[in-house]
Amino acid sequence: MPAITGARAYLVDLEVETVRTDAVQSFIKQETVFVEVDTNDGLTGIGYAYTIGTGGRAVLSMLRDHLVPRLAGQDAAHIEGIWTDLFASTRATTVGAITSLALAAVDTALWDLKAKRAASPLWEVAGGFRQDVPLYDTEGGWLHLTTDELVAGAVASHDAGWGGLKLKVGKPSHREDLERLAAVRAAVGDRMDIMVDANQSMTSAEAIRRAKAFEAVDLFWLEEPLPADDVTGHVRLARATSIPIAVGESMYSIAQFREYLERGAASIVQVDVARVGGITPWLKVAHLAEAFNVAVCPHFLMELHVSLAAAVPNGRYVEHIPQLRAITRSEMVIRDGRAFAPETPGLGIDWDLDAIEDRRVG
Ligand code: MG
């Protein structure tokens, strides 16, 4: 058995690679929480989770004070057993973002070990559907950008052969949102998928009104129109519009996805491997969505999600937001509008350990 002989957690702050704003927030910095797990067969697994600027130290404390000390001596191959033990040990703070992020940092390290021990890439170990997944761009669609800047970004994505692009919405006037979307649609033609993201900023009535207006632009999805805990509002909106509703980046447990799917409130599932608690629950959500004939288009973390979206038959799109370039030695492979899952054993992220060491803050 690959017994765990040591484990440690630490925090690395990364500056944002570009200014990113939406209707409710901006991406301040990427607090990247790492967990390394050593086993007695000489392997080390590296896992991670993230925040977009707040709470990273709370995740680190949860790991150092409570979760990491429970790992010593456990069999690293028993991932479900370890996950369940850690979850049970934190019962008073679950379901919750801080605990889920901490669980994810451990769980992804264990999957890195599992795939390294199998000498196989994650996309195969996690399911192995196909190696490449269509890519859509978010990096050209932030809310502070002018219409001309949005159009320029969209044309660049179109010319690169990418299948889709995402624009943030939630300007004070719905007319302004619509003008921006229409300008981009006119620039890229009718073959490119356009997604929009409201980041939970709307009321139920406003979401229905804007969705109706947006239908003229032919959208691929409307993302997080309402607060994530307003499931009934999403049900109502889904019935009122022909635009598919995408949710998932603000959900922290399998059961939250089950409720959305059961009630017909989600047409696209954007489960985030860090926020849902790791690869173990991520795969369960993806398979649950498959049972409802719903596609998975994971939120952010493209360097890890490319392998997970490639692992499952309902992985539909990977989101392009590069944010690890300062601490990795190579980038995700993109060819003909598709992202390719790495072939190297483990998670396949080419960490620059010296650069990580330089940026440690805790
Ligand atoms: Mg979003």
Res. 71 pLDDT band, cuts 50 70 90: very high
Domains and CATH numbers, the chain: 4-119+353-361 (3.30.390.10), 124-340 (3.20.20.120)
- 5 pLDDT higher than 90: yes
Residue-wise pLDDT for 12-30, tens only, equals: 999 999 999 999 999 999 9
Query: CA-to-CA distance for 227 and 204, rounded, in angstroms?
Result: 9
Per-residue pLDDT at 159: 95
pTM of the predicted structure, to 2 decimals: 0.97
Query: CA-to-CA distance for 37 and 43, rounded, in angstroms?
Result: 8
Q: Tokens 């921006």 appear where? A: 180
CA of 40 to the centre of ligand 1 (A): 40
Res. 212 pLDDT band, cuts 50 70 90: very high
Ion ligand 1: residues, Cβ under 5 Å: 197
Catalytic residues: 168, 299
Percentage of the chain modeled with pLDDT above 90: 99
Res. 39 pLDDT band, cuts 50 70 90: very high
CA of 35 to the centre of ligand 1 (A): 26
Per-residue pLDDT at 219: 98
Residue-wise pLDDT for 318-346, tens only, equals: 999 999 999 999 999 999 999 999 999 99
Q: Are 326 and 14 in contact (CB under 8 A)?
A: yes
Average pLDDT over residues 188-199: 97
Per-residue pLDDT at 63: 98
Q: Are 293 and 313 in contact (CB under 8 A)?
A: no
Per-residue pLDDT at 233: 98
CA of 6 to the centre of ligand 1 (A): 36
Per-residue pLDDT at 12: 97
Per-residue pLDDT at 362: 76
What is the pLDDT of the chain when averaged over all its residues? 97
- Cα angle 131, 136, 139 (rounded to 5 degrees) comes to 125
- 171 pLDDT higher than 80: yes
- 221-223 and 193-197 as β-strands: parallel, antiparallel, unpaired? parallel
Query: CA-to-CA distance for 186 and 166, rounded, in angstroms?
Result: 15
CA of 223 to the centre of ligand 1 (A): 6
* Strand segments (E) across the chain: 4-15, 29-39, 44-51, 132-137, 164-168, 193-197, 221-223, 245-247, 268-269, 295-296, 318-320, 333-335, 338-340
Both structure tokens of 247: 């949710």
Tally the residues of the chain.
Answer: 362
Average pLDDT over residues 98-104: 98
Look up residue 339 and give its DSSP letter: E
Residue-wise pLDDT for 262-310, tens only, equals: 999 999 999 999 999 999 999 999 999 999 999 999 999 999 999 999 9
For the chain, the C-alpha Rg in angstroms (whole number) is 20
Q: Tokens 């190297």 appear where? A: 344
CA of 224 to the centre of ligand 1 (A): 6
Res. 196 pLDDT band, cuts 50 70 90: very high
CA of 357 to the centre of ligand 1 (A): 30
